[in-house]
């Protein structure tokens, strides 16, 4: 449901960079979004299509790379990937401890964009 503010933010950043670089048309935008985010790729694109109408980013395609959820064991410091459904029942594959901290999976990042 919070695709809208996220998408507004993406568009704002994209247009700022486009202006600085004399862009005529934004074609593709590469994003990194953590797997912990519940955003739906399809909806981000739909909101983007709606918000970008009449701008040089109109028609741009969003390519979303999902970054894995990584935990770091508080006992032995090993890091390991987990899926969202297993997070609350995960154990360190090295030492078996369940005590961990989240080190990635919450990313919202614009990497780069292809433009003309």
Partner 1 sequence: MENVRLIEVKEEIMADNNQVAAGVRERLRNTKTLLLNLMSSPGSGKTSLILRTVEGLKGAVKLGVIEADIDSTVDAEKVAARGIPAIQLRTGGFCHLDATMVTQGIDALAAKELDLIIIENVGNLVCPAEFDTGAHKNVMILSVPEGDDKPLKYPLMFTICDVLLVNKIDYLSLSDFDMAALRKRVLTLNSNIRIIEVSCKTGAGIEDWIAWLKKEVDEFK
Q: Which residues bind partner 1 (CB under 8 A)?
A: 1-2, 5-6, 9-10, 12-14, 17-18, 21, 23-24, 27, 29, 31, 36-38, 74, 84-85, 87-90, 98-102, 106, 108-116
Closest distance of CB 71 from partner 1, Å: 9
CB of 51 to partner 1, least distance (A): 14
- From the CB of 68, what's the least distance to partner 1, in Å? 14
Q: How far is CA 24 from the centre of its chain?
A: 25
> Judged by CB, which is closer to partner 1: 42, or 97?
97
Tell me the angle at which helices 41-51 and 3-20 cross, rounded to the nearest 10 degrees.
60
Which of 61-99 are b and which e, b meaning 16 or more Cβ less than 10 Å from the residue's Cβ? ebebebbebbbebeeeeeebebeeeeeeebbbeeeeeee
């Amino acid at each position: 449901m919070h695709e809208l503010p996220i998408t507004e933010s993406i568009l704002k950043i994209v247009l700022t960079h486009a202006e600085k670089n004399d862009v005529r048309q934004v074609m593709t935008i590469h994003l990194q979004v953590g797997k912990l985010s519940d955003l739906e790729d399809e909806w981000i694109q739909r909101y983007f299509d709606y918000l970008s109408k009449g701008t040089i980013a109109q028609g741009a395609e969003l390519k979303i790379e999902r970054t894995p959820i990584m935990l770091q064991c508080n006992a032995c410091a090993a890091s390991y990937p987990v899926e969202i459904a297993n997070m609350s029942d995960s154990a360190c594959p090295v030492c078996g401890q369940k005590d961990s901290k989240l080190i990635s999976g919450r990313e919202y990042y614009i990497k780069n964009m292809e433009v003309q």
